[in-house]
A and B are shown apart, each in its own frame.
Chain A
């Protein structure tokens, strides 16, 4: 058996449904009205404080991903795709079940996370790079490459607030594709920039995938999944509907639409 990258075991994820005008956290008024209510809070399954409406974003999801696999996650809006990605990237924790992650994770749920527009492009490469988990040396050694790829050499010392949106996206994307990931989590960030840059970035993305990294790719775009991934998992209402060869799963999914 080859080595594991991710193991997801009976994972459930619960979210509370918020109503408009209802504050997401307890307000002082609520506490003053019922001062000791917070003490009676019980665990995840039980009802706590007030009767709450819950939404199970994931329900008993289990699967394994092996090292070097490229897996696409498809499904309708609200099927739990992004929740799954957030769990693997450790942004949120499961309500039940557990995940085991065996490789260094680089997640790209968005590009340009942590960018500060007051700072220069150069500063932002270092800042964003370290948010993405790159080491200082790694950023330093790839700096010229990142800048060249983004095509903004002249403006690298200009504050990012003066960038056009295209320049911003190109720089952010360029940092992202220069990661050397073991396990790369992607959330539909492929299509950026003008046609020329898109082509270039898609090639770079394929290079990343061919580099042997494990890829988990969430997308609405079934064609992109088919092109990039060997395997696909189809989520429906928080549960796995189908798991198998990408071409097969995507075709079934497209027909169901």
Chain B
């Protein structure tokens, strides 16, 4: 018989077996389908919820920051300005949040059956992408209503979306691994994400930040990503250079690799820790 699978004690550094993940793509498909069906079967208006929630939030932020505070948005109508940033944030938030809980949240399955555990965060990442597409359609309606044309800049969109997904999954896997060892991560995560949202230029443009502090904001890769998305949607001045995109890609990929190592070493431990 061909090569056996050998099961050995846990090494400290291991990387997920990506070939094995690929072989489990059927399971991945049914997990994505399960999450979709569960969400839409339970609620009466199903798909509308994906759109309704951000719309209500948009209304609140529009009233507070657009009408009352009058945040200067370089002449861009506040709703499209906000939504073109929020769409990035929502993708990031959903992926980070769901990947963090992917190990502990599925402990009942993990202790009963073997499958490549990476499938769990991957399935919710794909789920987040589906939400992104629905939000994107909503945003397009807003953009066209405000006479923003669809330009050839949209060609860059798939690359940007992929980058945000890679980056978010990396962050989420790191948090997920951390959660197995430090249960306090659960309490910290909500707080961290809230702060994270407000230090990212979603409800305000980066231009209102004094020049000398901007570098601090750019340490957060989301700032660059949001800038790039606004450049695509709104034709803002900021133009992502090849170099900037290159740096962001390297950071995102490095984080994903680190996240995968961390996740792998924790998935080995979790069946015993519980």
Q: Which residues of A contact B (CB under 8 A)?
A: 3-4, 7, 15-16, 23-28, 31, 44, 86-87, 89-103, 105, 107, 109-110, 113-114, 116, 118-119, 123, 126-127, 130-133, 135-136, 159
A110's contact among B6, B34, B41, B112, by CB below 8 Å, is which? B112
Q: Which residues of B contact A (CB under 8 A)?
A: 1, 4-10, 26-27, 29-31, 33-34, 37-38, 41-42, 109-115, 180-184, 268, 271-274
A27 touches B184 (CB 8 A): yes
Cα of A94 to Cα of B29 in the assembled complex, Å: 31
B25: min CB distance to chain A, Å: 9
A44 touches B9 (CB 8 A): yes
Cα of A195 to Cα of B223 in the assembled complex, Å: 64
A93 touches B114 (CB 8 A): no
B208: min CB distance to chain A, Å: 35
B109 touches A93 (CB 8 A): no
A99 touches B7 (CB 8 A): yes
A4 touches B1 (CB 8 A): yes
In the assembled complex, 18 residue pairs joining A and B whose CB atoms fall closer than 8 Å, in A order, are A3-B1, A15-B272, A27-B184, A86-B271, A91-B110, A91-B112, A91-B271, A94-B9, A95-B9, A98-B7, A99-B7, A101-B4, A101-B6, A102-B1, A102-B5, A107-B113, A123-B33, A127-B34
B271's contact among A31, A92, A98, A127, by CB below 8 Å, is which? A92
B6's contact among A4, A16, A98, A103, by CB below 8 Å, is which? A98
Cα of A20 to Cα of B26 in the assembled complex, Å: 40
Residues of chain B lying within 8 A (CB to CB) of residue A107: 113-114
Closest chain A residue to B113, Cβ basis? A113
Residues of chain A lying within 8 A (CB to CB) of residue B9: 44, 93-98
B4 touches A28 (CB 8 A): no
Residues of chain A lying within 8 A (CB to CB) of residue B112: 91, 109-110, 113
Closest chain B residue to A127, Cβ basis? B30
Cα of A28 to Cα of B26 in the assembled complex, Å: 39
A118 touches B38 (CB 8 A): yes
Cα of A44 to Cα of B268 in the assembled complex, Å: 13
A242: min CB distance to chain B, Å: 25
B181: min CB distance to chain A, Å: 5
Closest chain B residue to A28, Cβ basis? B184
Which 4 residue pairs across A and B have the least CB separation, nearest first?
A28-B184, A90-B114, A100-B4, A99-B7
Cα of A23 to Cα of B192 in the assembled complex, Å: 23
A119 touches B34 (CB 8 A): yes
B272 touches A116 (CB 8 A): no
A131 touches B27 (CB 8 A): yes
19 further A-B contacts with Cβ under 8 Å, apart from A7-B4, A24-B273, A94-B7, are A23-B183, A27-B182, A28-B182, A28-B184, A90-B5, A90-B7, A99-B6, A99-B7, A100-B4, A100-B6, A101-B5, A101-B7, A105-B114, A107-B114, A123-B34, A126-B30, A130-B27, A130-B30, A159-B41
A7: min CB distance to chain B, Å: 8
B124: min CB distance to chain A, Å: 14
Residues of chain A lying within 8 A (CB to CB) of residue B26: 130, 135-136
B10 touches A131 (CB 8 A): no
